[in-house]
Amino acid sequence: MNIEIRGRNVPLTDELKAHADQRLHLALSRFSNRIRSVKVVFEDVNGPKGGPDKKCLVTVKLDGGDELRVEDGNGDLRFIIDSVAERVGRLVAREIERQREAHSSKAARFNGKR
C-alpha cells in the first residue's frame, strides 16, 4: 500500500513521516487489497505565520471509486496522526462492510432470494 505524505507550510521530519506511515499501515493494512491510494496532508492553518494550529487530512481511495476523508487538528502532529489513523481505519472498515452487505443483498435478489 502506497501512502503519499505531504506538508503545506509544515516542515516534515523523517521521524514524522515514518510515524504517519507506520500508524496508517497499522490501521489500514488488513484492507490493502481494497485500497487504491492513501494521501496524507499536514497543514499549518496559520500559514507561514507559524503557531500551534495544525491539521491533518487523510484521503483513502477504495476500489470502485469511493473516496473517504478524515480530518483532525490541534498543535501536536504526532497526536493528530494517531487520532486520524484510528478514525480512518474504522471508517474504511464500515464502508467495506456496507459494500459487502449491499453486494450480498443484490446477489440474493438476483438469485431470487429475499
Mean pLDDT, 10 residues at a time, the chain of 114 residues: 92 95 97 96 79 88 93 89 97 93 70 58
d(CA 30, CA 14): 25
pLDDT of residue 65: 85
Number of domain units in the chain:
1
Nearest to 3 by CA among 11, 16, 107, 94: 16
At 12, which CATH number? 3.30.160.100
Q: Which H or E run contains 99?
A: helix 77-110
Report if pTM > 0.95. no
Q: Which domain holds residue 63?
A: 3-110
Which amino acid, residue 95? E
Contacts of 21 by beta carbon, 8 Å cutoff, 6+ apart: 3, 5
DSSP letter assigned to residue 31: G
d(CA 114, CA 39): 40
pLDDT of residue 52: 66
Q: Which three cell numbers stand for residue 81?
A: 496522526
